[in-house]
Amino acid sequence: MNAEKKNCDLCGLAVEVEGFQLNTKDGVKQFCCEGCKGIYEMLHGDDVLNESDTSD
């Protein structure tokens, strides 16, 4: 068996293509498409972590 299939964290559809994901305070969110990722980012912008922010 493969690793568990992810479901889009916005619309719930199976994620067939990886790459549409966001790091959030609640963990990594995975989306089925760029659209869902964008909408989630708009709705939950405060929870999205800046993935390029590695300075500490």
In DSSP terms, which residues pair with 14 in a beta bridge? 7
- Cβ proximity to Zn ion: between 11 and 28 the closer is 11
Give the pair of three-digit tokens for residue 47.
């929870």
- Cβ proximity to Zn ion: between 23 and 39 the closer is 39
Nearest to 27 by CA among 55, 50, 10, 49: 49
Residues 1-56 that bind Zn ion (CB under 5 A): 8, 10-11, 32, 36
- Cβ proximity to Zn ion: between 18 and 56 the closer is 18
Question: Residue 5 carries which DSSP code?
Answer: P
- Contact residues for Zn ion (CB under 5 A)? 8, 10-11, 32, 36
